[in-house]
Chains A and B, each alone.
Chain A
Amino acid sequence: MTNLFVLQLLNGVQLGVLLFLIAAGLTLVFGIMDVVNLAHGVLYMVGAYFVATFAAWTGSFWWGLLLMLPAAVAVGLILELVVIRRLYTRSHLDQVLATFGLVMMANETVKIVWGVSPLSVPMPELLSGSVPLMGPLQYPVYRIAIIVAGLGVAAGLFLMVNYTRIGMLLRAGATNRAMVSALGIDIGKLFAVVFTLGAVLACLAGALIAPILSVDTGMGESVLILTFVVVVIGGIGSIKGAFLGAILVAVVDTLGGVFGPILLREVLDPAAAGQAGRMLAPMLVYILMAVILFAKPAGLFGGRA
């Protein structure tokens, strides 16, 4: 039981770290530019496809990962320049529609370019296999690597946001956009940087998960909604909130799926518990969101609702 718990907890943290990479960009784009970007999940998907393609070309996951980065920057910049930039002054409804259109375009384009059958990315040799954790418990090295890489990026982001000039501008922009602009900061350039940074992080998340997931066109969507929940729980514009929200959502989701039915078995008969558990588990994170919002409408670390 303890072993299962530790294992699932690690899986939860691994998912949480991944969600954080996606949510960090999303929360900045929401918080600073006040733009609803439904196409953020697309970037996660595109990152996975990029690494699949580049890894196939070069025969190495590491080269794939390296080549993915400039491609992600390019995608982010183009998207910002062509569409997102024109949406800053528009209503949320317009932003929803335009980015919804982008989602449809991107999903279809991916199908045209890469086909409908899922791709797989080979696990890098260095990180394959498992390590003993405690007692008989083994855990895949690659998942540990994802956790470490994600925490590393989170730490880097934390340092950047709190101790650099661009980070200062980010925080200022999230608090009061108009004031930052009035103080002579080129807000257009700042927005482009923020959006591209978010795009790269989302692509990175997709690239990191690619070796342990099949890469297909639906992958962005399931994650997008979870990321929304993370951002809403954490509070829009807050990196700290995104981090805690991501870990919370992922752990609740992972543990709930496994232990929900087990706990229900204490009060219900096994068949009913299994059925109820299967139905309740996917709803848990949304119930969590509802409870948190009921207490704090602006999320855990949100300034404004």
Chain B
Amino acid sequence: MAETTVSAAPRRAPAIAPRVKAAAVLFVLFALVPPVVTALGDPFLVLVATRILAYAIAALALDLILGYGAMVSFGHAAYLGFGTYAVAILSSYGVNDLFLQMLGAILVSAVFAFVTGAISLRTRGVYFIMITLAFGQMAFFFFISLSAYGGDDGYGLSNRSTIFGSDMLENDVTLFYVTLALLIALFALCHRIVSSRFGRVLTGIRENATRMEAIGYAPFRYQLTAFVISGCMTSVAGVLLANQAEFVSPAFMSWHRSGELIVMVVLGGIGTLTGAIGGAVAALLLEEFLGMVTDHWQLWFGLFLVLMVLFSPRGITGLVEQIGRRKR
């Protein structure tokens, strides 16, 4: 098995390299955002950019199972919620450290993803979509009835998380760079995962589960592991979002949010990792832009989605590749 992996790696490398380069360009552009917007005299935009980066992490995590495992999870907003509520609940007990809060969020998400994933993965296709959606709603209703933390109305945070006792995240720019650093680290992690043996098996199962089973891999275990990893990563995005908004509410986990995460992944082109980040940027910027020009941004965003599916089935990446091919 080891030999085939080694011999396969160089062949795959050229296909992946340009995407990593594109991601690197994106990261450099992100890093320039705070100085540029501060120079433009609009430092509030740093917070908007932080929100985009946090969603990019969530989209990246979703792409891991959606793009590489063909698991259309329509309940991923639940993990965003676990992340946000981990911050709220732990900080109300005096645990303010960012990494401890992340650990809490990851533990809860791992258990939830393991249990719901194990049940959902017994099914396929339409069933899987609807079941993950239903479990997402279950988590949503749980937090709505959690009256100690505001229930439906949400819960304002008195302070942001601390890092080793320092309150440096109170500075918006620091929070931005911490978020960016986490995005880069998780991108690298995802990249390692998809090019590892585990990632290859996952992709193999996506292409043909029966065949993979025949050569000795149990699809269920690989899929469930990927599902749990993805859920945990999404909860990290939730922890960052809670810090960005300094407010948590069940709205973070509504099924619309799960839908938007899927939109981000598809918009950038599924199964590319870089695309998920680009898709998150594109979707949220489009939302911000439509929100500025019209009161009814949802109408136009919805129309955009319908048209995108009907006319460009492969998202932005598909469009870019199509244009690239035409040029050649």
Contacts and interface: CB of A to CB of B under 8 A. Distances in A.
B133 A228 contact: yes
A233 to B, nearest CB: 10
Contacts of A298: 123, 127
Contacts of A279: 142, 145-146
Given A105-B303, A108-B296, A290-B119, A98 B309 contact: yes
A104 B262 CA distance: 14
A152 interface: no
Contact of B266 (A30, A90, A93, A221): A93
B141 A97 contact: no
A183 interface: no
Contacts of A90: 309, 313
Contacts of B310: 83, 86, 98
A34 B144 CA distance: 33
B298 A236 contact: no
Contacts of A109: 299
A221 B258 CA distance: 14
Given A236-B126, A297-B122, A101 B309 contact: yes
B306 interface: yes
Contacts of A299: 127
Contacts of A231: 130
B262 A294 contact: no
A42 B13 CA distance: 46
- Most chain B Cβ neighbours within 10 Å, of A97, A98, A109: A97
A105 B137 contact: no
Nearest to B258: A100
Contacts of A290: 116, 119, 135
B176 interface: no
B302 A105 contact: yes
Contact of A286 (B122, B135, B304): B135
B195 to A, nearest CB: 23
Contacts of A102: 302, 306
B94 interface: no
B273 interface: no
B130 A282 contact: no
Interface residues of B, number: 44
Contacts of B147: 275, 278
Given A34-B126, A282-B141, A96 B134 contact: no
Contacts of A100: 259, 262-263, 302, 305
Interface string A110-123: 01100000000000
A93 B123 contact: no
Nearest to B119: A290
Interface in B290-311: 296, 298-299, 301-306, 308-310
A229 interface: yes
B14 interface: no
B284 interface: no
B135 A108 contact: no
Contacts, number: 134
A107 interface: yes
A304 to B, nearest CB: 9
Nearest to A299: B127
Interface string A231-273: 1100010000000000000000000000000000000000000
A86 B59 CA distance: 27
B251 to A, nearest CB: 13
Given A97-B308, A101-B303, A297 B123 contact: yes
A294 B121 CA distance: 10
Nearest to A231: B130
Given A30-B126, A83-B306, A232 B131 contact: yes
B270 interface: yes
A98 B306 CA distance: 5
A108 B305 CA distance: 14
A95 B270 CA distance: 15
Contacts of A281: 145
Contacts of A111: 296
A236 B309 CA distance: 25
A101 B134 contact: no
B23 interface: no
Given A97-B266, A109-B299, 10 more contacts: A92-B125, A94-B309, A98-B309, A104-B302, A108-B298, A111-B296, A232-B130, A279-B146, A293-B131, A299-B127
5 contacts: A83-B306, A101-B306, A105-B302, A294-B122, A297-B123
Interface of B: 66, 72, 74, 116, 119, 122-127, 129-131, 133-135, 137-138, 141-142, 144-147, 255, 259, 262-263, 266, 270, 296, 298-299, 301-306, 308-310, 313
Chain A to chain B: the 10 pairs with minimum beta-carbon distance, closest first: A101-B305, A104-B302, A105-B302, A282-B141, A286-B138, A108-B299, A98-B309, A101-B306, A101-B302, A108-B298
